[in-house]
Structure 1
Amino acid sequence: MTDVRLSWNNETQTVDLVMAGPDLATDDGLETAVIMSLGTDAPAGSDDKIPDGSDDGRGWWGDAFHDAAGDVDGSQYWLLSREKLTSEALLKARNYAEKALAWLVTDLVASKVTVTVELWGDEGAIAVIQILKPDGNLAGKYTFIWKAMA
């Protein structure tokens, strides 16, 4: 399936559309799917502490159109926006990424998704995501740096 190509900029911490001359570039791989999965806000759980102290549990409006009740897209990375860089926060980040990308295996797009999250200097965390195709070959390896966790 072809998507409009998105690009994550580790330096500016932003996502942007990619241009191909005067047209939008397309992505037949998984990079855009991974960016959307990690960059879209999944709703907070009932026991999650909202970082800004409000009662805004976020979520994505597109979840209203899922066939299965309770199906949600995105990650809960946004819950880490005010967390200190601890081993517990890194574990949460890895768990949030694994949960956000689990659909790749469920939908048979991938046979395995491996996520590692480590400290990135004093400024944040780095997530490395490796995705294997159903045939076992590497589908892609993606690296994202989150400075906002610092």
Structure 2
Amino acid sequence: MIIEGSLQASLLRSVLISLFTWRRAETDDPFDDAERFGWWGDTYPAQANDRIGSRLWLLRRVRLTAQTQRDAEFYAREALGWLVDDGQVKHINILTEQVQSNRLNLGVELVVSDGQIVRFNPSEQWQVIYAV
């Protein structure tokens, strides 16, 4: 639940946890070894198939291509989708920009119920620099 007066802080925490907690890889996802990772709390979800985090971690060792950029957008949207489903925001925009051959910047715009747009532009330590 978002507490009035702290909308931006609550949304920032929600975005950080959703994007940077490692969601368990799907069985058909390509990953380095047998470890599919994932947050331990997803073992016993309060609601069936309710999972926390994103699969952005799967991109840490892939070449940065147009497909990688699309995957990053998809994983981010998937991770933040609960904000729309739970009625916390009306709409989510995922912004990506390739700034170097090995760097993809990721930003998030959340449209809240009154039409206000809350933007998060991750600082350098947030951004995906793993792509080769």
Indicate whether the TM-score tops 0.5: yes
What letter is aligned with 1:37?
S
Match of 1:75 in 2: 54
CA distance in 2, matches of 1:28, 1:128: 16
**What secondary structure is seen at the aligned counterpart in 2 of 1:102?**
helix
| Correspondences of 1:95-106 after superposition (within 5 Å) | 95-106=74-85
The alignment-based identity, stated in percent, is 30
1:127 Cα deviation after fit: 0.9
1:69 Cα deviation after fit: 1.5
1:67 Cα deviation after fit: 1.9
- Larger fraction in strand: 1
CA distance in 2, matches of 1:28, 1:119: 27
TM-score (normalizing by structure 2):
0.85
1:28 Cα deviation after fit: 3.8
Kindly tell me the number of residue pairs found equivalent between the two proteins: 124
TM-score (normalizing by structure 1):
0.76
| Correspondences of 1:1-150 after superposition (within 5 Å) | 1=1, 28-50=9-31, 52=32, 54-138=33-117, 140-144=118-122, 145-150=127-132
1:29 Cα deviation after fit: 2.8
Residue by residue, what CA displacement relative to the aligned partner does 1:28-74 show, whole Å, maximum 9, x if unpaired?
A: 43111111100001111111111x2x111111012134222211110
**5+ long unaligned stretches in structure 2:** 3-7
1:113 Cα deviation after fit: 0.6
CA distance in 2, matches of 1:84, 1:118: 15
- Larger fraction in helix: 2
